[in-house]
Structure 1
C-alpha cells in the first residue's frame, strides 16, 4: 500500500469490532480503523465531513441491526449526503442476517459494494481490501 487508508466500522457488537480491528491490523499497518456503535454516530460523523470539508474513509463496513439508527436508516440518510461528500466511499453491509428480504433490500442501494455475512474472517476482510485497494 502506498499510504495510510481509512476504514470505518459501524456496528454495536464489541466482539466484532475487536476482531475486525485486529484482523485489519494484521493485514496491513497502513490502515487506520475507526468505529462507531450506532448509525446515528456515523451519520453525524459524515455530516461533519460535509460541513467542515473533511476527508472521508475509503471503506465503510456497516451493520444492519443497531440501536438508535439502524443500518437501513443510516443508508437512507447517507443517500442524501452522498452527493456532497468529497470522495467515493466503498460501502459494505456486514451482518448476521441471511434473510432474502434483507439481501433484496440491499440491492436498492446501487453504491453498495457487497453484502458480507458474519462471522467475519481474515479472508473476508482481505477480500474487501483487495476489492478497494489495488496496491495492497
Structure 2
C-alpha cells in the first residue's frame, strides 16, 4: 500500500521547463503531494489562485525568485491580495538558484515563507520541509 502524501495540493512556479520537470519528478518520487500544479509564470499562478473559489487552497507553493515580468518577490507582495483562505492556509517555499543572503533575508520578511532552498531540491530539503509542515 502506498504511503500517504505529505500534503494534498502543491504548486510549482518556475519559468524554466527543465526546472519544473526536475522538481515535479523529485516531488513525485518522494510522494510529496496528491496533486501538483505547475505554472511557468508568477502571473499565471496568481490568476489561478485569485479564482480558486470553492477549491481547497494549496498547502505548499514552491516559488522561484528569478523570473521575467513578475519575479518571486512581486509574487510575494501580491500574495496579500489573494483570498483569505489562501493567505491563511498556503505556505511558501522559495526554491531558487540564488544563494544570496539578502534574497534569503528579504524572503523571510513575508509571513507565508517557511523555507528558502537553493536549487536543486535535495532529499535533505524534503526532510526539513516535512519537519516544518508537521509543526504547523
Band the TM-score falls in, shorter-chain normalisation: 0.7 to 0.9
* Residues 6, 32 of structure 1: 8 Å contact kept: yes
Consecutive unaligned residues in structure 1, runs of 5 or more: none
Q: Does 1:9 align with 2:7?
A: no
Matches within 5 A, 1:87-106: 88-106=89-107
Runs of 4+ in 1 over 6 A off after TM superposition: none
Higher RCO, Cα 8 Å, sep 6+ = 1
Query: Match of 1:22?
Result: 25
C-alpha separation in 2, matches of 1:130 and 1:54: 26
The superposition leaves residues 62-113 of structure 1 with CA deviations (integer Å, 9 ceiling, x where unpaired) of: 0001122111111111112253538511111111111122122112212210
Secondary structure of the structure 2 residue equivalent to 1:119: coil
CA-atom RMSD in angstroms: 2.3
Query: Match of 1:65?
Result: 66
C-alpha separation in 2, matches of 1:107 and 1:30: 24
* Residues 60, 91 of structure 1: 8 Å contact kept: yes
Query: Match of 1:125?
Result: 126
Q: TM-score, normalised by structure 2?
A: 0.83
C-alpha separation in 2, matches of 1:2 and 1:102: 30
Q: TM-score, normalised by structure 1?
A: 0.83
**How far apart are residue 53 of structure 1 and its match?**
2.8
Q: Alignment length, in residue pairs?
A: 132
* Residues 46, 75 of structure 2: 8 Å contact kept: yes
Query: Match of 1:83?
Result: 84
* Residues 98, 117 of structure 1: 8 Å contact kept: yes
